[in-house]
Structures are given as structure tokens and as C-alpha cells.
Amino acid sequence: MKGRDVRDSAWVERAGRLGLVGKGASFALVSLIALQVAFAGGGKTPDRQGALRSVAREPLGRSSLVLLALAFAGYAVWRFVQGFLDRGEDGEDARGLAKRAGQLGKGALYTGLCISTIAIVVDAGSGGGPDEDKWTARVLDVPLGRWLVLAVGLAILGVGAYNAYRSFTQRFRKNLATERMEAAEDRAYTVLGVAGHAARGLVFALIGFFVARAAWQYDPKEAIGLDGALSKVAQQPQGDLLLGLVAAGLFAYALFCFVQARYRDV
């Protein structure tokens, strides 16, 4: 099969739509557990892998995780085809190549999520993944490692800012087939997109800030992940309320992904 045939394949579209469902499901899991923490008034907030381990302990949990791993794989395939074969027709100028590189990064991220989900299913990941301070410490010890960690932190901060920008400008509507939607669906989608991207922007900004601070202070314990970002929110005045609002925003993003799975131009 030629590259153009792969790029335009209906199977890639199906993989992308399945992947968006899986992406939404993973955010829904984290947000629901974080809401439980907020209403309970304390406790450890979840990261995505921690939420998946909670699912694995439930009846039919491992079967659900197998389906989720397939969805993550589908998302990765879709993003790799976008990056390598330019399915989104972004072009080969500097801006297009940068956008395609971003798609490859998303593909790599969801490949990792697929692998970690499979590891949980087969019990290889039951002890939990590596803490953020451990990988940060390893990177800080290599030549130019401090600057690499700082670059990662600034990149994550940039992702947070970009999500905030998308929330404010509603640019998330760009790739949606709104002509197929009812007016009420369109309004609901916009609300979900604004709230969801705002919550993601805050979470990524917190993660990026603390990763960058870990590099600046040469202290790997400063680095945090998704669970750490939610914990920082919970530690603020009225933290349970704030955590509940952020968790609700992440759940809105999960619903946003489900709507995209149906209406996005994939």
C-alpha cells in the first residue's frame, strides 16, 4: 500500500475517532477520581496511570483497559500518519513542519500510554510508574541535563498557554464539522471546549512551572506530574472547591473529546 493510500485510508479515520474516545475516557477517569477526593475533603489526587490502576481492580476492569489500550494505539496511529504522511495537509513550510512535529510528539505520548496501560493489564505496572522527581534526577545528571529539563518545563508551560489561548479564542472549533450539528449541540460543544481547555491550561501551566523550577533550583523533587498539579490546587485556600472546579473542567474536556470523536474532521 502506497503512502498516499495509507494517509487517506478510512481505517486511519476510524483509528483517530476511536483514539479520541479513549482520550476522553482517560480524562473522565482522572476527573471523576479527583472529584471524589474534593468531596471527601482530602487524600491523594490521581495521575492518569493511577486512575487506570484503580480501574484494573474493578470487575471487568482489565477488559476495559484492553479496549482503552487499543484506543490509545488508534490515537497514536492517527497522529503518526498526520505527522509522517501529512494527513492534515499542513504542508512542508516551517509552520507546517512544526505542526507535524507536534503530531508526532502526540503520537509518541499515546504510544507510551498504550504501553503503560498494557503493563497494568499484565500486572507489570502494579507498583506504579516512576516518580517525576526520579526521571528528573536522572536527566539532571547527564551533560546539559539541567537545560534539557528547563526546556521540557518551558515546553509544558507553552502547552498550558496554548490551551488557555484555545479556550479564550475558541480555536478548538476550527476542525469541527459544525454544519452537521444542531444549534444546541454547537452551543454545548463550545461551553465544553472553553471549560475543558481552561482546566487543561491551568494543569499544564502548573506542571511546566514546577518542572522548570526543578531545573532552576537543581532540585528534582520540585518536579510534578498531573497528580502533583491537582495536589497543588487542593492545597490552596478553598482547595477542595478549586479542585472540584478543575476536575469538572477536565470532565468537560472528556466530553469535548467524545463530541470530537463524532464530529471532528479526522
pLDDT digits over 80-127, tens only? Answer: 999 999 998 999 999 999 999 999 999 999 999 999 899 888 874 444
When divided into structural domains, the chain yields a total of: 2
**Which one of 101, 128, 155 terminates a domain?**
128
Residue 40 above 80 pLDDT? no
Mind listing the pLDDT tens digit for each residue in 115-145? 989 988 887 444 444 455 667 777 878 878 8
User: What average pLDDT does this structure show over 205-227?
Assistant: 88
Q: 66 to each of 73, 117, 240, how far by Cα in Å?
A: 11, 8, 33
Residues 136 and 265 in one domain: yes
Helix 10-40 to helix 226-234 angle (10° resolution) is 30
Cα dist. 262→66, 143, 159, 248 in Å?
A: 22, 46, 25, 22
176 forms beta bridges with 264
Residues 6+ apart with CB under 8 A from 209: 153, 157
Q: Are 258 and 8 in contact (CB under 8 A)?
A: no
* Long-range pairs of 97-105 with CB within 8 A, sequence gap ≥ 24: 103/79, 104/79, 104/80
Rounded to two decimals, the pTM is: 0.87
> Are 114 and 232 in the same domain?
no
* Measured distance CA(235)–CA(238) in Å, rounded: 8
Both 21 and 117 in one domain: the answer is yes
pLDDT > 60? residue 79: yes
- How far is Cα 86 from Cα 196, in angstroms, rounded to an integer? 27
| Residue that finishes a domain, picked among 113, 128, 143 | 128
Q: Are residues 255 and 178 in the same domain?
A: yes
Q: 1: which DSSP letter?
A: -
Torsion of CA 46, 52, 54, 55, to 10 degrees: 140
Residue type (1 letter), 210 = F
Structural domain of residue 76, as residue ranges? 1-128
Domain end residue (candidates: 128, 143, 169):
128
